[in-house]
Amino acid sequence: MILYSHPELSPPSACPYLPDQTLVYSFFFAGNLSCLELSWFLSRGWRRFGHYFFRPSCPDCRACTPLRVPVKRFLPSRSQERVLRRGAHIRTSFGPLRYEKQLFDLYHTHSQVRFGQESSFDEFVANLHSPSCPVLLSRYEDNGRLLGAGYLDQGSDGLSSVYFVFDPDASSLSLGTLSVLREIEETGRMGLPYYYLGYIVPGCARMAYKGKFNPHQLYSWTDELWHETGKEPEPALPGMIRPFSGWTGRD
């Protein structure tokens, strides 16, 4: 692991998930992480875009909750099974990260239609095509037409969904849900125990879909353990020297 900057706090800003809340991130820049180093951070609630690693450190709120799925015990719901049947014709492949113009075109269209945002090529490359750790790219195609693409980090204990983009014209296929289901399956096929799905935020409707993948575990910022309903809590990934001696990222 190469540490490019020491951890610090971002300036306060308006929270994009909950009204009347203030967002502050703990963040640092790093590169050349191994699978084990990446999983150490994932198991403690960190996320990353490019070389930017972050996790919430908001002054008055700890609503953003890391969620992961134990893949061996995952069972799709009836509605998720319907998504699988509806998307049975979609070819999914997993491979190394490789740039193609159609990936940026898909990202740009997705950002415009879904979020009303203009996205620059430089932003796209910095966030998704400048890996700082082992990564995978998932592709979702129908008769050669690229309908979706998923960016995944590969840790020693699981895959982590970084970002997923899809063609808005294919919304009827529920590609966001389909991608999670296919990526959970791939995680199991690789013999990895967890699929990390980022943060779920109680009270934020657009994050609620993550809680429908069951069973799942939630990370507690208080005791730094992973909790599953009706189960004993699990510790974060052990056995690694702390990269920042004496620093928790929430001071």
- pLDDT score recorded for residue 250: 29
Using CA atoms, how far residue 143 sits from 91, 128, 165, in Å, is 8, 25, 18
Cα separation, 218 vs 54, whole angstroms: 18
DSSP 148: E
How many C-beta atoms lie closer than 10 Å to residue 242's C-beta? 10
**What pLDDT sits at residue 234?**
80
Q: Which two tokens stand for residue 195?
A: 């699929």
Angstrom distance (rounded) from CA 158 to CA 173:
26
Quick one: pLDDT at residue 230? 62
> Tens digit of pLDDT per residue, the chain (251 long)?
999 999 999 999 999 999 999 999 999 999 999 999 999 999 999 999 999 999 999 999 999 999 999 999 999 999 999 999 999 999 999 999 999 999 999 999 998 888 788 889 999 999 999 999 999 999 999 999 999 999 999 999 999 999 999 999 999 999 999 999 999 999 999 999 999 999 999 999 989 999 999 999 999 999 999 999 766 678 887 755 444 433 333 22
| pLDDT score recorded for residue 249 | 32
Q: What local confidence, expressed as pLDDT, does residue 251 receive?
A: 27
Q: What is the pTM of this model?
A: 0.91
User: Residue 79: CB partners within 8 Å, gap ≥ 6?
Assistant: 212
**Which of 251, 244, 246 shows the shortest CA–CA distance to 41?**
244
Residue 170: Cβ-neighbour burial (10 angstroms; 0-12, 13-18, 19+): middle
Q: How far apart are CA 66 and CA 85, in angstroms?
A: 29
Q: Rounded CA gap, 182 and 82, in Å? A: 13
